[in-house]
Structure 1
Amino acid sequence: MPRFSRLFATTTWLFAASGSIVLGATSVTIGNGTVVGVSDHINGVEKFLGIPFAEQPTGRLRLRQAVPLQESFGTIQAQSFGASCFSTRDNSTEQSEDCLTLNIWRPTNASTEPLPVLVWLYGGGLTKGSTADPRFEGTSLTGISQKIGKPIILISINYRLGPFGFLNGKEMAELGLLNIGMLDQRLALHWIQENVGAFGGDPRRVTLAGESAGAVSIYSHMMAYGGRDDGLFRGAILESGGAFPLTPPDTGVFQKTFDSLITNTSCSSLKGATATEKLDCIRDLPVDVFRSKIGSATGQSIDGTFSPTSIQRAIPAGKYLKIATIVGTNTDEGTTSAPTGINETQQLFGKVAEGYFRPQLLPNETVSTLMSMYSTDPSKGCPYNTGKFRFSPGKLDKMACSIFGDIVQIGPARMIAQNLAKDGVPVYSYRFNHLKSNATSISKAIGTGVEQDFVFSNLIPEQPWDQQMAFQMSATWVSFAYGLNPNGAINETGLPEWPLYGNEASSMVFNGYGSWIETDTYRSEPVQYIIDHVLSDGAS
Structure 2
Amino acid sequence: MKLYNKLLAWQSCLAVALAACNDTENPRVDLGYATYEGTALSNGVNQFLGMRFAAPPVGQNRFKLPQEVIQEHGIVSAKSHGSLCLPVDGLAFTPPPGQDMSEDCLFVDVYHPAHANGTPAQNLPVMVWISGGGFVQLLNENYNGTGLVEASNNGVVIVSFNYRVGPYGFLASEELQKEGSLNIGLQDQRAAMKWVEQHIGKFGGDPNNVTLFATSAGSGSVLLHTLAYGGHPPESENVNWRAGIAPAVWLPSVHKVEEIQYQYDHLLNATNCSDLACLRSLDSDTIQRANRGFPFPGQANVPLFPYGPVTDGHLLTGTPSEMLRNGSFAKHRPLILGSSSTEGTIFATQANTTQDVNDFLKTQFPDLTEYDLAQANTQYSSVPSTFPGVNVTKSPKFYQLSQMYGDMAFSCVASEFAAGLSRAGVDVYLLRDHVLDPDEVAAGFIVPHTWELQAVWGPEYAPQSVAVPGANSYDVGGVNHWMVGVVQAYWLSFARTGGNPNAAKAAGAPFWEPYRHGERLKLQTNSTTMESLHEEELDRCALWSKLSAKTHI
Q: Same fold (TM over 0.5)?
A: yes
The aligned residue for residue 349 of structure 2 is 339
- Quick one: distance in 2 between partners of 1:424 and 1:87? 38
Q: In the alignment, is the contact (CA less than 8 A) between 1:168 and 1:258 conserved in 2?
A: yes
- Residues 18 and 203 in structure 2, CA contact (< 8 A), matched pair in contact too: no
Write the deviation string for residues 497-532 of structure 1: whole angstroms up to 9, x where unpaired. Answer: 1011113x2111112233111112253343332343
Counterpart Cα distance in 2 of 1:328 and 1:249 = 30
Q: How large is the Cα RMSD of the aligned pairs?
A: 2.4
Contact 1:247 1:301 in 2 (8 A): yes
Provide, for residues 16-45 of structure 1, a one-character-per-residue CA deviation record: whole Å limited to 9, x for no partner.
xxxxxxxx6212222222221112223x32
| Aligned counterpart for 2:205 among listed residues 183, 201, 204 | 201
Match of 1:329 among 339, 344, 355: 339
Which secondary structure does the structure 2 equivalent of 1:140 belong to? Answer: helix
Equivalent position amino acid for 1:195 in 2: H
Matched residue, 2:406: 405
Distance in 2 (alpha carbons) for counterparts of 1:146 and 1:310: 41
Equivalent residue runs for 1:42-191 within 5 Å: 42=43, 44-88=44-88, 89=91, 90-92=93-95, 93-110=99-116, 112-131=121-140, 133=141, 136-146=143-153, 151-191=155-195
Give me the TM-score of the superposition, normalised by structure 1: 0.87
Residue 18 of structure 1 corresponds to none
Matches within 5 A, 1:436-475: 436=437, 439=440, 442-459=443-460, 461-475=475-489
Residue pair 2:256, 2:312 contacting (<8 A) in 1 also: yes
Question: Residue 20 of structure 1 corresponds to which residue in structure 2?
Answer: none
Secondary structure in 2 matching 1:509: strand
Report the residue type matching 1:256 in the other structure. Answer: Y
Equivalent residue of 2:418, what SS? helix
Is the contact made by 2:59 and 2:283 (CA closer than 8 Å) also made in structure 1?
no
Which secondary structure does the structure 1 equivalent of 2:447 belong to? Answer: coil
Distance 1:224 1:258 in 2: 24
Q: Is the counterpart of residue 375 in structure 1 residue 381 in structure 2? A: yes
2:388 matched residue in structure 1: 386
Q: Match of 2:181, SS?
A: coil
Which whole-Å CA distance do the structure 2 matches of 1:403 and 1:99 have between them? 35
- Which of residues 304, 310, 313 is equivalent to 1:304? 313
Indicate the residue corresponding to 1:537 in structure 2.
Answer: 550
- Residue 258 in 1 paired to residue 255 in 2? no
Contact 1:376 1:396 in 2 (8 A): no
Q: Is residue 2:492 matched to residue 1:478? A: yes
Structure 2 unmatched runs, 5+: 1-13, 294-305, 461-471
| Residues in 2 aligned to 1:310 and 1:325: alpha-carbon distance in whole angstroms | 20
Map of 1:21 onto structure 2: none
TM-score by length of 2: 0.85
Distance in 2, Cα, partners of 1:144 & 1:67? 36
**1:488 equivalent in structure 2:** 503
1:518 corresponds in structure 2 to: 531
Q: Is the CA contact 2:257–2:310 (under 8 Å) kept in the aligned structure 1?
A: yes
Pick closer, same or farther for the CA change 1:487–1:517 going to 2, 3 Å: same
Change beyond 3 A, Cα 1:440–1:64: farther
Unaligned runs of 5+ in 1: 15-23, 271-277
| Identity %, equivalent residues | 27
State whether residues 217 and 251 of structure 2, in contact with CA within 8 Å, keep that contact through their aligned partners in structure 1: no
Residues 36 and 75 of structure 2 are in contact (CA less than 8 Å); yes or no, is this contact kept in structure 1?
yes
1:237-263 Cα shifts (integer Å, max 9, x gaps)? 112222333111222xx3332223332
1:241 is matched with: 249
Give CA deviations for 1:211-255 in whole Å, capped at 9, x if unaligned.
11111111111111121252511101112222333111222xx33
Q: 1:364 deviation in Å?
A: 2.5
Between stretches 53-62 and 433-442, larger displacement belongs to: 433-442
Gap change, CA 1:73 and 1:444, over 3 Å in 2: farther
Aligned residues: 500
